[in-house]
Amino acid sequence: MPEMKELTPSQRTLLGPGPSNVHPRVYRALSTPIVGHLDPEFLVLMNEIQEQLRQLLQTRNKLTIAISGTGSAGMEAALTNVVEPVDNIIVGVNGVFGNRISDIVVRCGANPIQIKEQWGKSIDLQKIEDALKQAGKVKAVALVHAETSTGVWQPLAEAGALCEKYGALLIVDAVTSLGGVPVKVDEWKIDICYSGTQKCLSCPPGLAPITFSERALAVARERTTRIRSWYLDLTMIADYWSDSSRAYHHTAPISMNYALREALRLVHEEGLEARWQRHRRNSLELLRGLAALNLHPFVDKEIRLPMLNAITLPEGIEDATVRKTLLTEYGIEIGGGLGDLAGRIWRIGLMGESSTRANVVYLLAALKDIL
């Protein structure tokens, strides 16, 4: 085998749909020595992460933890624990991630009732209520808070009360929204909410914060069929995260938990309000600059996400060539469109550490050069 050199990845300015850039303090945390997953020091760290996550998710839910795995593991944990064969699950589908939720619902043997909306529009709560009325018993409603494939911000404040009225659980995908815009689990009556580390939390990918209300946990415990996933069975994982038991389930990814602890410390040092405002400010700045280049947002103003800016590509712009030049000449990553939107939009992420004025100015200058 030819000699392999030490790994030296390039410094990128990550302005795509995730991952985002990582703060030096988080890299330092990753390089600190590992301890055992039952070491008293690690158990303290787990408690600290739980408390930091509760503040971030604005919840008092006891079961608030970090699942081992990326955002999709969070999605799968949220669904597999409560969904049983033949259950009706209403799923808002207006992009890639609503489709992924439906796919998992099908794999659970259940029946997804899709509320479809054009990509680039939000899901109308009235349509969800109509479906709740028609479908008979509905176990849960699943909605994507920040649809990363389109840049749509799903209004959620009233969704929880609606689900409660019909006895359904509300499951929310906050993978991209958490840390960039408010996610108020208790106030909005969300039963299950999951996220990921590499979007607005600016940690490497590898953990999925998740929270379960008492009601959701009771549904998971009282189900009549066994949870099909052993690895993501929260009734067992909860024991490992619980002070009273600490029963071994699987070896926690120690270093990733160190990284998450530090990333959450950075979030709380900045303050949630200040962090949301920063995401808003830099998005507005980006859109102003892009308008001067005759590039305009794909999504209507009221439902436009600040951390994922979808931009309509005008005729005549070579999508792939521009993105390749950005990466090779400027070290900047932005995202292209997915599915039907391939070649029609760019997805410019301003997530977590990546959401800075300097990055906005740099990207605008690079685009001006290239175009």
Ligand X SMILES: *Cc1c(COP(=O)(O)O)cnc(C)c1O
Residues at the interface with ligand X (CB under 6 A): 18, 70-72, 75, 97, 144, 146, 148, 173, 175-176, 196, 205
**Nearest distance, CB of residue 128 and ligand X, angstroms:** 18
The nearer residue to ligand X, 234 or 305, going by C-beta atoms, is 305
- List 10's β-bridge partners, or say none: none
Count Cβ atoms within 10 A of the Cβ of residue 291 and give its class: 0-12 exposed, 13-18 middle, 19 or more buried.
exposed
**Nearest distance, CB of residue 277 and ligand X, angstroms:** 22
The nearer residue to ligand X, 92 or 196, going by C-beta atoms, is 196
- Give the nearest residue (CB) to ligand X: 71
Count Cβ atoms within 10 A of the Cβ of residue 369 and give its class: 0-12 exposed, 13-18 middle, 19 or more buried.
exposed
The nearer residue to ligand X, 173 or 262, going by C-beta atoms, is 173
The nearer residue to ligand X, 193 or 367, going by C-beta atoms, is 193
CA 329 to chain CA centroid, Å, is 30
> Which residues, at least 6 apart from 92, have a Cβ–Cβ distance to it below 8 Å?
98, 115, 117, 123, 128, 141, 142, 143, 144, 154
**Nearest distance, CB of residue 187 and ligand X, angstroms:** 21
The nearer residue to ligand X, 175 or 366, going by C-beta atoms, is 175
Q: Please report, in angstroms and rounded to a whole number, the separation of the first and last CA atoms in the chain.
A: 44
**Nearest distance, CB of residue 333 and ligand X, angstroms:** 15
**Nearest distance, CB of residue 98 and ligand X, angstroms:** 9
**Nearest distance, CB of residue 54 and ligand X, angstroms:** 21
Q: Structure tokens of 210? A: 């998740």
Neighbouring C-alpha atoms within 13 Å toward the C-beta of 244: 2
Count Cβ atoms within 10 A of the Cβ of residue 14 and give its class: 0-12 exposed, 13-18 middle, 19 or more buried.
buried
The nearer residue to ligand X, 14 or 146, going by C-beta atoms, is 146
Enumerate helices (H) and strands (E) in the chain, giving the number of each: 12, 14
